[in-house]
Each structure stands twice: as structure tokens, then as C-alpha cells.
Structure 1
């Protein structure tokens, strides 16, 4: 072997499978490893530490191995300062830029480790100094270091379309430290029962009770709950109970699409959801037009909030959001009818609005919406608790496969889940 580097793993690396994955990465990519130090935690609450030398036939293969190990939480044992290069133009990053994971990340700058703000997968890391731009000056509460000249320094993620010419973009993997959340064997870790995975075989009632407890505990700590909801919530009969959760103060932020809001308001106006009578499950004459009538009436009123103030909208999830000052983002789609005036039709603008929601959330409940769940999941750090519920197993597994490994999945009917959850939350919170 002509090229070698030493890496370290620490934490619950055995229980979580991180150590096994690291060994597999090295062998699958044609490298070798030699264990130098291996300290095993001998109790459930104890962590383990592994230091190993990784080798490859050439530097290019070694870089590929180190990249994959880095994504898995293995960090170089002899870090140097992160490499930065100025962006050559707006929305253009330097070749070889570092693409982020959703795990807590630090970069080494001027000999000091700086936490990266707003951790999100598939972004660039930009290093900023207060003297470079007033716009880049750190605000109150931001974590900053000072460079050798005493200037405050910060590091934060930026999506590619937000990159501006001259931004100092981190390249390569050197000087970067990634720390995936620990996954201890028992419920003592930061996620408690939320250990990831998906199964339709889990005892749903007991798991719903645990989700309810997590939701109540989140609120008791003064933290925020984000609900990501699809039209199926209304269509399957869960609208009233989701509205109850909003009314009782257990939903702080709502992320949805034009279809969800339209179905919800249509139900209040006509008693139908996408033309189907919610009581008889029949399709009344002209029922298929109710959703477009609904959109027309809300447009006439000037939006959802004016429609609530005028008495047009008098019940439902959107009504409770307006009445209880729960902020919502309705992200548009190419398939939308109308759409409602509140729907954000610019995809980049909608993405940024969702990103702001994700940064505020401490627990996210995703209800029967594949594309919206994945979109929000992409914006979340791995430290945010996520519960994804869908009758289609592919929705939950795709969320996990896309990188939201902290999510737990429940394959069940959302029309059954939401009422049971609302009952359990109200009972637990009393």
C-alpha cells in the first residue's frame, strides 16, 4: 500500500453499526485497515473508541475511502485547518467542494474547531468574517470564533443557489469533523424509543403512546413540533383530530401543500374531500368540482386568513392555524389547481421557507406525504426527532434511504393514527 491515513471513531460505534460499516467501506473500495487502538465500552451507557490506519494503492483511492468513512462519522486523527477557496461566481462552488451530511459538523479554522450552523445535507460550508460583509455579520446567539486578527468567524451551510461570488467555500475533507448522533442499545440516548427503522409489525398502540409522550415532553421543554401533512390526512378522516392537536397547542408549525389546505377547507365548506362525502363516502353530484369552487372562494376572499376573518372558513386545520397563530407554509406543485393565494409557487422560495421551518423544529411528525416528507427531511439535521406515518412502506423507507436515518416509521392508516394520537396526547398532557 502506497498511501495511508489514520482515522478515529468514537461513541456507540458498536451498537449503532458504525464500526462494522467502516470496515465494510474500506474493504468494498479496495483498501486495507489496521486497528491501532480499540477501547470497548463494557456497559450500556459507555462509549467505545477505535483508531485505525487505512491504506490504499494510490492517493485517489484513499481519498474516496476517506470520503465515505467521513460520511459515516470517522474523522482524521491528525486534522489540519480546513481548506477554503473563494467561489468563482454566483451559484458556482469550487471544484472538490465539501458536500455536507445532516450530522453535527465542525470545521478547523485557524487552529480552532468551529461548529457549523444550520446543518443540512447536500450543502456547501461557507466561512465568513464580520469584516467581509455586513450581511454576513453574526447575529445574537450565533456561535463564532475569532481569527488571528480578532475578527469574528462563523461557519454555516449554504445551498448552491445561495452561493455568492467570493464566498469562502470549504473544500476536501480535511479539517472537518462529523459526529453522527449516538445510538445506544437501550432507550437512554437522546432519542429514547426513536432508534430508527420501519416496521408494520410493531405494536402500534404502544408506539402511538410513546409518540404522544415524546410530543408532550417536547412541548413541556418549550420546544417546537412541526407537522408535515398530506391531503390523505383529510381524505382518510384525520382532519378533525389534527385540528384538535393544533387547537390544544401541540402543533407549533405546519408544512403542507396546496392540496392539503384545499381538501381541509373544502371539507368545511361542502362536507367533501376531493368530491367525496366524508360522512357517506359517496360522490355527490358535482362533488368533483368542490375543490375548484373552494379555491375560487378563497381567492375571492383574498386568502385563507381573510376567509377566516370573514367567516367563510369556520372549521378545520387551516382555521385552527389562523385562530391559534400557528405559522404554516404551503409549498406549490406543478399539479396544483388554482392554487390558493397562500401557496408559494416559486420552488426556491418554497424551499427556503421550509428550511426556516426545519431549523425551528425539535420534533417532526410526517403524515402521509412522500414528496413533502422527503423535502422536509432533506432540510433537517440528524439530531431532530422524526416520526413518519404512511400506509405505503415505500414512503417511509425512501425517507430513511435519502439520509434521514434518525426517523422512525409507522406503516399504518393515517386516518386511524391521527385520532389515536390526539386521544393519547390529550390524555398524557392532562
Structure 2
């Protein structure tokens, strides 16, 4: 015999809840969790720009079951009709959160403080909301301090998921999916148009890259994009920089001549030599200034004042002197470079793509390019649902993208007035 639903609570949905698929996701989640729902009110927007409103009664077997369901619906964007102030508790010691703490999503979030809704700053997933001097901010566990006022429970919290783009946009076209079957030429052209539009309004484009960019021959195209002002920050690891520098110094990547696709004599030593030469110079910047490094991705970053963050890992050789081996420090520096980002283009790196995805609010347009479909799938499954995935060889993708950017720049010179990298206040 089916146990009747004993606990009930109302929720509200506001915005473009139909074409953004919020409403069906709510229905699916309730049914997946063996709850029930009843539509109490449903007002559908009549014009394209109109929003819709729905009020639902959610039912659970008991209060505990209902709270589990409400918690999941809240993370999707459902709101509780009552407008109580947010509840806080004091962190008992550094890096320790109070019981019942609220864990953030990557969606834009508001909390109600003294009757006023305030937007949470530095939005990112898997963080806590700390209120200081009346300002709510996302704070990661490693930065929680004793005495911090940490939000607990779900009262007084409103999540606003990103709406589906309206108009001509690659993100409307792709719909957050992963595919290698889409028309490559038109797709890459759309990405180039989006990038050009962002730069024309003075926005920021951040590149996240792996060493396959060099292995597959895409380094010249990325260097060209940096030189022409389409990159505002580069986030990578030791490998991308080391193999880029190896190619510039010795013409090889992991010992293989990229022109002849043959292993060079003693080529397996080249990346060690490359790291050693940069260490001898003192830094990548010093190697550029002294004439040791004369081209490539890292050279263009230095020459064009594009900040880079090289986050180390346990498998690194050397590493290069610019590599940050303190993981927490690297995270903080990555978050700093992601502030104000409009587009983040992730290419050929599962580790860094997922790591950066964890630091991004869902409002940032995110493109993930990888030959391995599981890289893109894992990124989205981890919570970066705003990302679109392109399954292709980055060595083909990058030259094509650079070519499209140059073609568009020639055809629309008036759209390029803001493409200029100013010297950064931070030197990494």
C-alpha cells in the first residue's frame, strides 16, 4: 500500500521558466524523489519578453522527505513564498563551518538581510555565504575564519538560474549540449563572433589550456590570438608552458619534431632543458627580456602584458619557476583572474577545466573544447551546466578560430576598438 503524502509546502517559480526548461526539471526532480506536486497557479507570459509565474504545492511522505525535495528544488531555482530574513550562525574556528550551513550553487544568489534582498558577491559553487558589514559573499572552506557569520538553512535565500539566451547566440544554438556532429565551420564562426562582440564592449576573455595545444600544433594560433588582443588571462599548468617553451627553443614537443612528426635525437631531454634554461634566467619574463625566449604562447603573454596563472600538480617536472605549487594560493590567483570574465574558453585539459569551472558563476559563457567527450561531460556533471561542449581536435580548432577572428576583424573594423590589453597590476 502506497503511503499517503503527509507533509506539504508551497514553492514559487518566476522568470522564463518554460523555455529555460526550469518547470519540467522541477516536475522531474519531484517525481524522481518520489514526491508529488500540484499546480496551484500558472501564469504564462504572452510575449517573447514576458516572464511566467507558477505556484506549486510540493508533497512528501513526511517532513524529512519534504525537506529533502525542497532542498533540491531550491538549488534548481525554486523560491519559498515566505520572505523571512536569512539565518546565520558563528563559525567556531578557522576552516570549520557551523552545523546546517548553506552550500552555494554557481547560480546568481540573493539573501534577505533586514528585509532587503542583497546579491551574494563572488558567486561560485560549493562555498559558504558569509555576511560581513551587511554584505554577503561566497567564501570557500579554506578561507572561513573563527567568528564569521555563516548562512545556515534555506530561509531568506533566493537562487536565480541563468535564463536561456534570446536572439542569435551560440549559447542558444548549442543549448548546453555536447556534440561532435554540429557544423564545425559555422560553429567556430559563431564563437569568433561572440568573442569579437565581447572585446568590442571592453569585456574579458579567459583561456584555460592544456599541453595538447602544443602537441597538436595549435600553439601558433593561440600565440596569434594573444598578440591580437583576444586573450585577457591564461590559466594553465606547468606542462603547457614547458612544452610551449620547448617548442620555441628546440622545435619539439615532448621530444617530437612537430614539423616532421619524428622523435628528435635525445629529444626526451628537451623539456627538462627548457625548464632548466628558464630557471637559469630566473623566470619566463626574464627569459623573454634577455632574448632567450623569442616566440610562442608564454612569450606573447609577457610581451602583451597578459597575466597567466600556472598551477602545479604532483606530476610536474621542475617545475618552471613561475609555477605555483601551493594549491590554495593557485586557486585564489585563478579566482582573481576570473573576476569580470565574460567568456572562458577551455581547451584540452580535464583537470584545469573542471577546476576553473568550480570557480565560475553560471552567468559566465563557457566553452569547453576537447577530443575526449568525457572531459566535457564531467565538466557539466560537476555543475557547470552553462558550458557548451565541442568534441574536436584542438589542433584543428585553434587555427580555424584564429582565422575566423582575423576575417571578422577585417570585415568589421569598427567592432575592434576595445581590443587592447593594458598592463596588469599583478605579475605572475
TM-score in terms of structure 1 length: 0.92
Please give the residue correspondences for 1:6-405 in structure 2 after superposition, counting only pairs within 5 Å.
Answer: 6-129=10-133, 153-183=134-164, 187=167, 191-193=171-173, 195-405=175-385
Query: Number of paired residues?
Result: 406
Superposition deviation, residue 309 in structure 1 = 0.5
Superposition deviation, residue 287 in structure 1 = 0.2
Contact 2:171–2:388, Cα closer than 8 Å, also in 1:
no
**CA offset digits 1:161-211 (Å, max 9, x no partner):** 100011000011111000001115x53689554531111100011000000
Provide closer, same or farther for how the CA distance between residues 178 and 165 of structure 1 changes in structure 2, counting only shifts above 3 A: same
Partner SS for 1:34: strand
Partner SS for 2:346: strand
Partner SS for 2:339: helix
Superposition deviation, residue 15 in structure 1 = 1.8
Contact 2:178–2:390, Cα closer than 8 Å, also in 1:
yes
Partner SS for 1:344: coil
Provide closer, same or farther for how the CA distance between residues 367 and 190 of structure 1 changes in structure 2, counting only shifts above 3 A: closer
TM superposition outliers: structure 1 runs of 4+ over 6 Å:
none
- 1:174 & 1:407 partners in 2: Cα distance? 29
- 1:195 & 1:187 partners in 2: Cα distance? 13
- 1:237 & 1:278 partners in 2: Cα distance? 7
TM-score in terms of structure 2 length: 0.93
Superposition deviation, residue 13 in structure 1 = 1.6
- 2:83 & 2:281 partners in 1: Cα distance? 60
Match of 2:414 in 1: none
Superposition deviation, residue 43 in structure 1 = 4.0
